[in-house]
Amino acid sequence: NAGVTQTPKFRILKIGQSMTLQCAQDMNHNYMYWYRQDPGMGLKLIYYSVGAGITDKGEVPNGYNVSRSTTEDFPLRLELAAPSQTSVYFCASSYSQGAKEQFFGPGTRLTVL
């Protein structure tokens, strides 16, 4: 099993550009999550999904969109990149709400200039 994979590993965007961060998992997990980690801060939840076709906002959803068309994939979309979105983004998945342990991908380091 590859676990949770994320692409790209690094990306530099100009203000106003858009991009999609890809996330995939091969563990047949229902729950998937997107977090961002700013320097010196903990991870903050952006969006999560409890299954294909179902998504919900987390703590810091503004400026982002998600979709969940399949169990495996959970892409994160930035429509109009802003410097405040410079961060490291982590995707994670878990078996269910009752299984609290989350499996994380390696992260995407995004810089918006």
Partner 1 sequence: DQQVKQNSPSLSVQEGRISILNCDYTNSMFDYFLWYKKYPAEGPTFLISISSIKDKNEDGRFTVFLNKSAKHLSLHIVPSQPGDSAVYFCAASADNDMRFGAGTRLTVKP
Binding residues for partner 1, per CB under 8 A?
A: 4, 31, 33, 35, 40-45, 48, 50, 56, 58-59, 90, 92, 97, 100-107
Of 17 and 103, which has the nearer Cβ to partner 1? 103
Question: Residue 103 Cβ, how far from partner 1 at the closest point, in Å?
Answer: 7
Question: Residue 26 Cβ, how far from partner 1 at the closest point, in Å?
Answer: 15
Q: Please tell me the distance from the alpha carbon of residue 82 to that of residue 105, in angstroms, as a whole number.
A: 24
Of 14 and 98, which has the nearer Cβ to partner 1? 98
The DSSP secondary structure of 50-104, one letter per residue, reads EETTEEEE-S--TTEEE--SSSSB--EEESS--GGG-EEEEEEEES-TT----EE
Of 17 and 75, which has the nearer Cβ to partner 1? 75
Question: Residue 88 Cβ, how far from partner 1 at the closest point, in Å?
Answer: 10
